[in-house]
Homo-oligomer: A and B are copies of this chain.
Amino acid sequence: MNLPEDKDILRGDIRSVARAIRAVEDDWPGSRALLVRLFPHAGKALTLGITGPPGAGKSTLVDRLTTHFRKAGKTVGVIAVDPTSPFSGGAILGDRIRMQNHATDDGVFIRSMATRGALGGLSATTAAALLVLDASSKDILIVETVGVGQDEVDIASEADIAVVVLVPGLGDEVQALKAGIMEIADLFVVNKADRDGADRLASEIAMMLSLTGETKGDRPPVVRTVATSSQGIEELASTIDEVRARRETSGALAARRRERLLRQFETQVDALLRERVRRRIDALDPSQHLRERVQNRTIDPFSAADETLAGLDPAKP
């Protein structure tokens, strides 16, 4: 569990970056201090959140976008938040498949992150991994999540630009699920746009957007792609750049980054307190008597929590 050297992370050495991310993900000793040291070096990258229903082709789209950014001379870091496989223990799609087109390219770093068992919560872990990548001098950070599930949608919505990927022809309930992510989009992608129903989907989106009351110029643009054949990727990249420029001018980008930092601060306060409280609960309840009572239903969880806090001075370490 040796931490990598700061300087190796900062220069983007792939093994050191990978080890640093593992360290913050698994909460190795010293990993928090590492994040503190890396923080001043971060804050320069543009962060894209890419989300959408299962089957929308997000990982292919991310792959093609990565290729595009690399051709434009930009370095890219990808955090793909994948559902965890119960058997392999690893994330389903896995780094290996995702890496196949970029395996020999030092300017690309790709990491799958498991959705379950993330210490300190998925959101905190993803933020920490993005901080490492940002400090490692990546120009573009992409965080890809499935657009279902509260944490997953939140993570994408906190990016500088949230891209929502939809596809024609998913089932009714799947279409309904989309609605939960419509509101976070700064940009829509209709992927698999060569399929039947692409026009209808695009006009459905336009109609929903027209209901928001925003003037047309302020509404999120809609880009059509066929990621598998790289169709529309160039247009997507230039639209992303337009959205970035517009949000920079309007101050929306800066505001979102400020929001994100505030959330990270609050999450850290929560995490520190929770850790402190857990230690104090152990100290106050060494025989686990209170927890035993909770489990036997001789006290309700609410009153037990009151009792814990009454006997607690979390100001002490």
Contacts and interface: CB of A to CB of B under 8 A. Distances in A.
Interface string A285-316: 00000010011110011111110110011110
A148 interface: yes
Given A92-B177, A262-B295, A315-B314, A304 B268 contact: yes
A35 B306 CA distance: 13
A36 B303 contact: yes
A53 B83 CA distance: 12
A75 B146 CA distance: 36
B180 A301 contact: no
A272 interface: yes
A151 B151 CA distance: 8
Contacts of A151: 149-151
Interface residues of A, number: 76
B258 A295 contact: yes
Nearest to A34: B302
Contacts of A170: 55
Contacts of A115: 149-150, 180
A244 interface: no
A84 B305 contact: no
A270 interface: yes
A176 B83 contact: yes
Contacts of A173: 54-55, 59
Given A115-B149, A146-B149, A270-B270, 16 more contacts: A40-B300, A86-B180, A87-B182, A87-B211, A92-B176, A92-B180, A93-B176, A146-B177, A148-B149, A258-B295, A262-B295, A264-B294, A265-B291, A265-B294, A269-B309, A314-B314
28 contacts: A36-B303, A39-B297, A55-B172, A83-B180, A83-B181, A86-B179, A87-B179, A115-B180, A116-B150, A116-B180, A146-B149, A261-B294, A261-B295, A261-B297, A261-B301, A262-B294, A268-B301, A268-B302, A269-B277, A269-B281, A269-B308, A271-B305, A272-B306, A272-B309, A273-B314, A313-B315, A314-B314, A315-B315
